[in-house]
Chain A
Amino acid sequence: MDLSARGLRRIYRSGELTTEALCGVDLTIKSGEFVAIVGSSGSGKTTLLNCLSGLDTSFDGEVKLGDLSLSQMSETELARFRHEHVGFVFQQFCLLDHLTALENVILPGFFGEGAGDGVDPFKRGRELLTRVGLGDRLHSRPPQLSGGQKQRVAVARSLFCNPSIIFCDEPTGSLDQDTGLSIMKLFEQLNREDEVTVIFVTHEPYIADMARRRIIVQDGRLIEDKSQTSVWPDDTGDSDEKLKEVAS
């Protein structure tokens, strides 16, 4: 399903002060795209991500996933939408420290009637953690994991309900370069193999270069939206060397 925004405006109010974070954004992202939203701090890129993902619906205009209009959904429908259709990965990982890696991954299964139902959540959690390379850290708690491992747990959690889109807000922002590259590789693999739409926000150009489409936001407006040749050389090959070259 395509994700589209029409006339998207978002204004923050704080007392007398109003800030227009998004100024009438029009945008369509097709299913299976690998998109980077780029911009400097305060440009409105995270606000755009939040509005597109249904985390924030206090906007004017319209956001639709296929025929589903987010602005017309009730709170409960929005919760169901987030549960069934989208996954999230955040800069600060947002893992619950008192839960194990496995329990963090299956956390979405505690809510709603989603893809996790009918399947043993622990079995699915183990599969997802194995897929992101943490099959041997199932019962480790976040404080016992490195930054990269935490983000892999977050990626596994985002996949728990088989989402069609994964939204990532600065997914490499808290990681060193090598670890950030490995996480981006993981997203590319998910996009290519599972045809999951990946939309990520970053302010680092070399991370943005890894996307197949780059959207540049400045002062709440899209100033550039173009497809680009991905740094990924092919669908199967090892691109580590080229990635490091781009990063350097």
Chain B
Amino acid sequence: MKGQRFSSLIGQSLRRNRRHFLLSGIGVIIGIATLFFFTSLGEGVRTTVLEDVFVIDQLEVVDPAAAAGMRRGGLFGGGGLTDHTVEQVRQIEGVKEVYPKMKLTFPSRASGGEALMGRNMGVEFIADGIPAEMAADDVSDILAFRDHDQPLSCADDEACPDGRDCIDGTCTPRSCDPRDRASEPCGEVGFCDRDTEICALPIPLVISPYLLEVYNGSIHTALRDSEGIGSRLPRLTEDMLVGFEFDIVFGHSYMGRSGDADSIRHRARIVGFSDRAMQLGATMPLPYVQRLNTEFSGEDAADHYHSLLVDTYRNEDVAPVAQRIEDELGLELSDRHQRAQRAGLLILLITLLFNVIALVILAVSALNITHTFSMMVMERRREIGLMRAIGATRRQIQALVVGEAAVVGLFAGAAGIALGIGAGFAVDAIFDSYVGHFPFKPDSLFAWSPWMFALGLTTAVLFCLIGALIPAVRAGRVEPAAALTGR
């Protein structure tokens, strides 16, 4: 049978029996809508949890001795994470890049915020340092995320940042008067350091989106109806915070102070939000932390990293790389990675559970299709007998029934997907209207990917074909003489 004539025959049959086909397709539509709804919901929640809450594509390695709180180099302590360790991890197959992270190892505090909060506030300042290239893509401020205290070579003044002049091929800070607020010799982002009276650039900081979510979702929510200053705290956005400046006092905090070294006051500026930033604190370019740790904690503190972020070439490389890091180098993975894995597994299991329900619905609808198609084969027995009489083979009759089922499956699948998407939009609208803000509240609970559409259509067709299998075999067995004589 030629394809065009075959599809024409199927089309004629579908038009004639559209009510039957619609009824048999309803179960499939509901099943596919359920499957599509829960698959996209699971994927959406999984994406939020694993990309925003627990970032699973970052493998963070820690020194087990440091993690256990032992003193580095002691009897039970490890050797710490050094440049040598970084090189060792880099050698592992599948590792694309290794980024060392170092925390400030002395007390500090931050103060400021009048522009945002209405009055200045002070908090303990916790920070770490990462290589500048790790957060380069996340910076949205005119002040770049790099070490601005590093001497820059130049050809002319144009090549130097704000507040610096090109002198003898090097960008050199200008002298300034901290009391002179009119001439602005230090440029748009520079400031006049009141201790040294020369122009300086703020320390660039990146903040974790997690911190913003915690503030908006918990602190702001808890305090907004309170009495006192807390009720005036605004809800913050990334746009409000990028470019925000405040002062930091290194070596002296509200809780304690560093040994002999004098504290240092410096200005800092938020330049962007990055998943690579520490979750409860701020992150600056690594050289700042190394210099400050040397100043306040000694040379040794600047040589040892607190953790390493490991990037792999592919997601499939994460597990074997993690295994080798633990087995061969005796290092540990941060518990964030393990929590992410557990969360991912939990979401997967819940999604699978709902998908099993969807498959049960589809299985029931396949039985319904078997029933409907069997009825139709019985009703059309004479017609099938005629087709057999004028030359149709058993296979052609079977193909006709199966073809009708496939078309029903395609239409039911498409309708089910549309229904699933519609339900998703409705749930999103209800969620948005009736559920208050909380940390990491997503814009949509659903994530729709092309493979889900393919899955929906394929599953619908598959179950329709399964349902139509027995009726198709029965249709092929119709004997023309018996069918035409009504025997």
Q: Identify the A interface with B (CB < 8 A).
A: 46, 50, 55-56, 75-76, 79-80, 82-84, 88, 90, 94, 96, 98-99, 103, 107-112, 114, 157, 161, 169
* Contact assessment for B392 and A111 in the assembled complex, using a CB-CB cutoff below 8 Å: yes
* Contact assessment for B390 and A108 in the assembled complex, using a CB-CB cutoff below 8 Å: yes
Partner of B393, one of A50, A75, A96, A161: A75
* Contact assessment for B481 and A79 in the assembled complex, using a CB-CB cutoff below 8 Å: no
Bound CA–CA A90/B482 (angstroms)? 13
Bound CA–CA A82/B386 (angstroms)? 11
* Contact assessment for A75 and B479 in the assembled complex, using a CB-CB cutoff below 8 Å: no
* Contact assessment for A79 and B393 in the assembled complex, using a CB-CB cutoff below 8 Å: yes
Bound CA–CA A79/B9 (angstroms)? 18
Residues in A with CB closer than 8 Å to B396 are 79, 111
Residue B12 at the chain A interface, CB threshold 8 Å: yes
Partner of A110, one of B5, B382, B389: B5
Query: Chain B 455-487, CB within 8 Å of chain A: the 1/0 string?
Result: 000000000000000000000000111101100
* Contact assessment for A94 and B393 in the assembled complex, using a CB-CB cutoff below 8 Å: no
4 interchain residue pairs of minimum CB distance: A83-B391, A56-B481, A55-B481, A98-B16
Residues in B with CB closer than 8 Å to A84 are 391
Given contacts A79-B391, A79-B393, 19 further A-B contacts (CB under 8 A): A55-B481, A56-B481, A75-B394, A79-B392, A79-B396, A82-B388, A82-B389, A82-B480, A94-B484, A98-B12, A98-B16, A99-B12, A103-B12, A109-B5, A110-B1, A111-B1, A111-B390, A111-B393, A111-B396
Q: Point out which of B1, B5, B395, B484 has the most chain A C-beta atoms below 10 A from its C-beta.
A: B484
Residue B383 at the chain A interface, CB threshold 8 Å: yes
Q: Point out which of B9, B12, B480 has the most chain A C-beta atoms below 10 A from its C-beta.
A: B480
Query: Chain B 372-392, CB within 8 Å of chain A: the 1/0 string?
Result: 000000000011001111111
Bound CA–CA A98/B16 (angstroms)? 6
Residue B425 at the chain A interface, CB threshold 8 Å: no
Q: How many residues belonging to B are interface residues under a CB distance threshold of 8 Å?
A: 27
Q: Point out which of B382, B383, B390, B395 has the most chain A C-beta atoms below 10 A from its C-beta.
A: B390
B434 to A: closest C-beta gap in Å: 50
Residue of B whose beta carbon sits closest to that of A80: B391
* Contact assessment for A98 and B15 in the assembled complex, using a CB-CB cutoff below 8 Å: yes
Bound CA–CA A98/B479 (angstroms)? 23
User: Which residues of chain B from 5 to 21 have any CB-CB distance to chain A below 8 Å in the complex?
Assistant: 5-6, 8-9, 12, 15-16
Residues in A with CB closer than 8 Å to B6 are 110
* Contact assessment for A50 and B1 in the assembled complex, using a CB-CB cutoff below 8 Å: no
Bound CA–CA A76/B398 (angstroms)? 13
Residue of A whose beta carbon sits closest to that of B396: A111
Bound CA–CA A107/B392 (angstroms)? 10
Known: A94-B382, A99-B12. A108 touches B391 (CB 8 A): yes
A156 to B: closest C-beta gap in Å: 12
Residues in A with CB closer than 8 Å to B392 are 79, 110-112
Residue of B whose beta carbon sits closest to that of A55: B481
* Contact assessment for A50 and B485 in the assembled complex, using a CB-CB cutoff below 8 Å: yes
Residues in B with CB closer than 8 Å to A111 are 1, 387, 390-393, 396
Bound CA–CA A110/B387 (angstroms)? 9
* Contact assessment for B12 and A55 in the assembled complex, using a CB-CB cutoff below 8 Å: no
Bound CA–CA A103/B389 (angstroms)? 17
The dominant DSSP class at the B interface is helix
Residues in A with CB closer than 8 Å to B394 are 75-76, 79
Residues in B with CB closer than 8 Å to A82 are 388-391, 480
* Contact assessment for B386 and A94 in the assembled complex, using a CB-CB cutoff below 8 Å: yes
* Contact assessment for A110 and B484 in the assembled complex, using a CB-CB cutoff below 8 Å: no
Partner of A83, one of B390, B479, B481: B390
Residues in B with CB closer than 8 Å to A80 are 391, 393
A132 to B: closest C-beta gap in Å: 17
Query: Chain B 7-43, CB within 8 Å of chain A: the 1/0 string?
Result: 0110010011000000000000000000000000000
Residues in B with CB closer than 8 Å to A112 are 1, 391-393
Bound CA–CA A55/B483 (angstroms)? 10
Bound CA–CA A94/B16 (angstroms)? 17
Residues in B with CB closer than 8 Å to A114 are 391
Residues in A with CB closer than 8 Å to B16 are 98
Bound CA–CA A169/B6 (angstroms)? 29
Partner of B391, one of A50, A90, A99, A161: A161
Residues in A with CB closer than 8 Å to B382 are 94
Known: A46-B485, A56-B481, A110-B1. A79 touches B12 (CB 8 A): no
Residue of B whose beta carbon sits closest to that of A76: B393
Bound CA–CA A220/B482 (angstroms)? 18
Residues in A with CB closer than 8 Å to B390 are 82-83, 88, 107-108, 111, 157
Bound CA–CA A157/B387 (angstroms)? 12
Q: Point out which of B12, B386, B391, B480 has the most chain A C-beta atoms below 10 A from its C-beta.
A: B391
Residues in B with CB closer than 8 Å to A103 are 12
Residues in A with CB closer than 8 Å to B15 are 98
Residue of B whose beta carbon sits closest to that of A94: B386
Bound CA–CA A96/B13 (angstroms)? 10
Residues in A with CB closer than 8 Å to B485 are 46, 50
Residue of B whose beta carbon sits closest to that of A104: B386
Bound CA–CA A110/B6 (angstroms)? 7
Residue of A whose beta carbon sits closest to that of B17: A98
Residue of A whose beta carbon sits closest to that of B391: A83
25 A-B contacts (beta carbon < 8 Å): A55-B389, A55-B481, A56-B479, A56-B480, A56-B481, A56-B482, A75-B393, A76-B394, A79-B388, A79-B396, A80-B393, A82-B390, A82-B391, A84-B391, A88-B390, A96-B383, A107-B390, A109-B5, A110-B6, A110-B9, A111-B387, A111-B393, A111-B396, A157-B390, A169-B484
Residues in A with CB closer than 8 Å to B480 are 55-56, 82
B461 to A: closest C-beta gap in Å: 23
Residue of B whose beta carbon sits closest to that of A81: B391
Residues in A with CB closer than 8 Å to B9 are 110
Residue of B whose beta carbon sits closest to that of A77: B393
Bound CA–CA A118/B123 (angstroms)? 89
* Contact assessment for A50 and B481 in the assembled complex, using a CB-CB cutoff below 8 Å: yes
Bound CA–CA A92/B206 (angstroms)? 85
Bound CA–CA A110/B390 (angstroms)? 10
Bound CA–CA A90/B481 (angstroms)? 11
Residues in A with CB closer than 8 Å to B386 are 94, 96
Residue of A whose beta carbon sits closest to that of B383: A96
Bound CA–CA A103/B16 (angstroms)? 14
Bound CA–CA A210/B59 (angstroms)? 95
